Amino acid sequence: MFAFALLVALAGPALQLHAQTLSFRSTDHASGSGRHVRLQADLARRVESWQASRTCASARLARSALKPAVAQWLGTQMMANPGKTLTQWGYHSGDIWVENHMVDGVQRCRAGFRKLIAFAEFG
């Protein structure tokens, strides 16, 4: 903890971290019978970080960045579970990191996910 506080203090105004969470859960399409299996994975490392002029903390940009990784993971899970029905899926991000800095006098930012848990339930 001390090392993190020291890093923030040394970085000064160029480094600002903002916590934010995103979550989504599809409607439950469970048939009510049978056993359900829940699979989940942390996809944060599969999502590219994004850059913008001032809106890196935008939920719209974050969702745009996560959609390809979640879709690919979900497709892989569906292929790995033939004959099973996808009853529900979703995701929850732990938080989104954002770095604000000046580049040639212009404010810029870069952001990414620290954690992004995707899940799929099959029945």
How would you write the chain as a 3-class SS string? CHHHHHHHHHHHHHCCCCCCCCEEECCCCCCCCCCCEEEEEECHHHCCCEEECCCCCCHHHHHHHHHHHHHHHHHHHHHHCCCCCEEEEEEEECCEEEEEEEECCEEEEEEEECCEEEEEEEC
Under 8 Å between Cβ of 91 and 121: no
For 89-112, write each residue's pLDDT tens digit: 999 987 788 898 888 888 899 999
Supply the range of the domain harboring residue 64: 17-27+34-122
pLDDT of 42 = 97
Identify whether 1 is part of a domain: no
pLDDT of 90 = 95
Identify whether 11 is part of a domain: no
Share of the chain above pLDDT 90, in %: 50
Identify whether 109 is part of a domain: yes
Number of domains in the chain: 1
Identify whether 111 is part of a domain: yes
Instruction: Indicate if the pLDDT at residue 117 is higher than 50.
Output: yes
Identify whether 21 is part of a domain: yes
pTM of the model: 0.75
Identify whether 12 is part of a domain: no
For 29-44, write each residue's pLDDT tens digit: 776 556 889 999 999 9
